[in-house]
Structure 1
């Protein structure tokens, strides 16, 4: 006798033929894009590490000599140089050096600073909270400027508020953040007597460098969001919503804005990932005690382990931010969840 396994439906009756296999295939397909992105993270970071490792030997200066100089030996002897090279592993073949670095990195060791002799992760970890504080405040400032500008421009498109909002965005694009920082220091600190040029990395002192850092982001975000809002309000479904009696304000905020958010989410994620390295100049201008200013001083001293670790961590932050943006965009826009279900 041939038996057929019966599968009960949620309501108690038999399930439709093929319903369960289709559901399982859809669930597996939904995980494929995310799984592929997760698998690409170590490959991307390893590629960045290999590229950085290949470029670092081209930098001028002898790492062994710089290490001894930082340790208070300005004129090292040849024996001291040879011993330091052996200690740093510089006497090995390049492939062996890279393999040794990868093994140590997988165990959480990204090397030792030539200047201080301390682990690089310890040095960066002490300065990372100040950088995260600055980056978070800058992202909030940029969003607080970009979203209202885009909403005003989309609500009054082709009228003077739209022109003014786009002019402000272009002004933000034309002024680099460090130039705005120098202007603020001159007007607010030097002439106005408010604040200090040397900042301590606390929330109370973060507003000025964060505002300058936001100048490099809000212009792109506002123009991107404005274009997405206009496209949404000109679509066919928007016309049907208006025909049902929906007002222009509700159309903009309730219907157009959620549809226009995915591009903004990706732009914010890209900027957040780039902040790890982009804040270095402003941290130097404001003497902000973050990881960026520390890496700038390490570049001047040719502290190669710090530079390499910083570049690898910046790559990891960028990839992680991009992956998080994909997940958030799928939560906001059901159409993207549909694409994942199809395995696109």
Structure 2
């Protein structure tokens, strides 16, 4: 109960701090939201009209007053209204969220399919061909930027061979290239992490003791060593969720994928402050929830962590 209460307080403080910092920086960023709004109407406007629009939107108020008004609406789960579409920000974000979550899940599937088998084989057969291959993959994966890898995949599998579409959505084929771009980039890191964690687990006393009692190699690997090795991997996975969601911004723009990433880039270009602020809060909420779930999962995988937390 104490841990849950502590997590709840930390969660509230984090959201407040994140929302305040992002709100201030958005307001300090160059550009004029009113000018962008009136420009979208494609008609000539006067300075008095712009001033009336600023007054109507409350943009003439001090930043702290604007933040206080926005926070009072947030408490009622109201993220405001988009300047450009005149729709509630919550509806706009929820409309785009499924596409981004789908891309995130398919990217994680690519990561799991590559990282777990390759990292496990690399740990079981160190300094062999499979281990050298995993090291090469790790170097390439951490060295090549995701957007450049995406451009290579577009050139190889879309422009030259026409195997997969390079932009848009509508079918599973549209997910192949962006999922590979994100999944391959992250898999390189996890291959090395799984290898090092599993090598460490295989050298632990409880693994040697299980083998001395005659327990089969596959049982030792799956029930003891691999479970112990998953603790740092799961912790890293929780940290990577934020990177993955942030990485979809670049990839969604590159592949013209209609998710939250492309939507927020368009909002930044048009100075749509409520959308930008709502996106920051939603991402902070998702990342924080993922960290809490990772902590709970680590308690299940490694009871020693839970016992230390209770002391």
In the superposition, the TM-score normalised over structure 1's length comes to 0.85
Supply the distance in 1 between the matched residues of 2:287 and 2:66 (Cα, whole angstroms): 26
Supply the distance in 1 between the matched residues of 2:286 and 2:170 (Cα, whole angstroms): 21
| Alignment match, 2:110 | 141
- CA 121–202 in structure 1, closer or farther in 2 if over 3 Å, else same: farther
Supply the distance in 1 between the matched residues of 2:5 and 2:122 (Cα, whole angstroms): 39
The one-character-per-residue Cα deviations of 1:22-70 (angstroms, maximum 9, x if unpaired) are: xxxxxxxxx2223211221111011011101111222112222222112
Supply the distance in 1 between the matched residues of 2:52 and 2:206 (Cα, whole angstroms): 73
- CA 334–47 in structure 1, closer or farther in 2 if over 3 Å, else same: same
- CA 201–139 in structure 1, closer or farther in 2 if over 3 Å, else same: farther
Q: Return the offset for 1:234.
A: 1.0
| Alignment match, 2:128 | 159
Supply the distance in 2 between the matched residues of 1:201 and 1:43 (Cα, whole angstroms): 40
In the superposition, the TM-score normalised over structure 2's length comes to 0.94
| Bigger Rg over Cα | 1
| Alignment match, 2:77 | 108
Q: Mark the runs of 5 or more structure 1 residues left unpaired by the alignment.
A: 1-30
- CA 53–104 in structure 1, closer or farther in 2 if over 3 Å, else same: same
| Alignment match, 2:41 | 71
Q: Per residue, is there more helix in 1 or in 2?
A: 2
The one-character-per-residue Cα deviations of 1:155-198 (angstroms, maximum 9, x if unpaired) are: 01233322222221222212222212111111111111222222
Supply the distance in 1 between the matched residues of 2:121 and 2:115 (Cα, whole angstroms): 10
* Aligned ranges 1:155-194 → 2 under 5 Å: 155-194=124-163
User: Contact 1:130–1:202 at 8 Å: present in 2 too?
Assistant: no
Supply the distance in 1 between the matched residues of 2:194 and 2:52 (Cα, whole angstroms): 58
User: Contact 2:193–2:233 at 8 Å: present in 1 too?
Assistant: yes
Supply the distance in 1 between the matched residues of 2:170 and 2:308 (Cα, whole angstroms): 43
- Choose 138-147 or 106-115, whichever is displaced more: 106-115
- The 3-state SS of whatever aligns with 1:305 is helix
RMSD over aligned CA atoms reads: 1.7
> Which of 45, 57, 66 does residue 27 from structure 2 map onto?
57
- Choose 272-281 or 312-321, whichever is displaced more: 272-281
The one-character-per-residue Cα deviations of 1:54-111 (angstroms, maximum 9, x if unpaired) are: 11222112222222112333x3212211211111111222211110000111222222
| Number of aligned residues | 311
Question: Is residue 267 from structure 1 mapped to residue 207 from structure 2 by the alignment?
Answer: no
Q: Return the offset for 1:201.
A: 5.0
| Alignment match, 2:287 | 318
| Alignment match, 2:210 | 241
Q: Return the offset for 1:317.
A: 1.3
Q: Return the offset for 1:202.
A: 4.2
User: Contact 2:110–2:184 at 8 Å: present in 1 too?
Assistant: no
The one-character-per-residue Cα deviations of 1:244-287 (angstroms, maximum 9, x if unpaired) are: 22344433222100001111112222222333322011001111
